[in-house]
Amino acid sequence: MNIVRRSAAVAGLAALVWLAASAQAGAVGVTLIQQSDGTVKTYANVVMTLSGGTLTLRSADGRGTLQIRTGACSFVKSIRYCLPYAARLTQGKRSHAIALAYGSVFFNFTNSEQNLPHSSGGLAPHTVLLLLKTARGTYVTAKGRLDEVRS
């Protein structure tokens, strides 16, 4: 039963991110954060960059940065699938690690839309989709076009 609720919550957040990202014409990306008490914050125009195995999400005002380190990556057709294993949130001069429970990161580095594995949805060209849950029960979902990719 717990797995069903968890899957439904992640699917619901993913659907909200999908709709919000589609509605934000010209936006780089959108991030949703759902706290364990159910409150949701939406961050539009998030700048998303990838350097090595680190995905960085920077708020539009530059005040908040979330870095997610990924590993155990593989390809499912043309989609790169990775597991997030470490996260760090920086707000102003304060920075702290965030313990992760589980998650997935999908990258489409191609010039065409690609189908997501085990889904009827697709991922637009040069787009990232992040789905994760923290050890404290917070869900973080982000989707957007990668602003910069460095190896």
**Residue 105 is which amino acid?**
V
DSSP designation for 116: P
Query: pLDDT per residue over 62-116, tens digit each?
Result: 999 999 999 999 999 999 999 999 999 999 999 999 999 999 999 999 999 999 9
Query: pLDDT per residue over 100-109, tens digit each?
Result: 999 999 999 9
Tell me how far CA of residue 3 lies from CA of 8, 9, 54, 66, 96, in angstroms: 8, 10, 28, 26, 29
For the chain, the domains span 2-150
Per-residue confidence at 147, pLDDT binned at 50, 70, 90?
confident
Asked whether the predicted pLDDT for residue 21 surpasses 80, the reply is no
Nearest-angstrom CA–CA distance, 82 and 62 = 26
